[in-house]
Amino acid sequence: MHQNARLPGRRESSGAATEAAREPRGILIAPLMLASDYGLFNFIQKVAEICRGKVNFTTAHTLGRYLRMDYMQKRVKQIH
Longest dimension (CA), the chain: 58
Q: What is the pLDDT of residue 51?
A: 85
- 7 has pLDDT over 50: no
Within a domain: 9 = no
Can you give the pTM of this predicted structure?
A: 0.55
- 1 has pLDDT over 50: no
> 25-70: per-residue pLDDT in tens?
667 777 888 887 889 889 988 988 888 888 988 888 888 888 899 9
Within a domain: 30 = yes
Within a domain: 1 = no
How many distinct structural domains can be found in the chain?
A: 1
Within a domain: 2 = no
Host domain of residue 64: 14-79
- The closest alpha carbon to 67, from 52, 44, 47, belongs to 44
Within a domain: 8 = no
Partners of 57 in beta bridges: 33, 67
Within a domain: 66 = yes
Within a domain: 4 = no
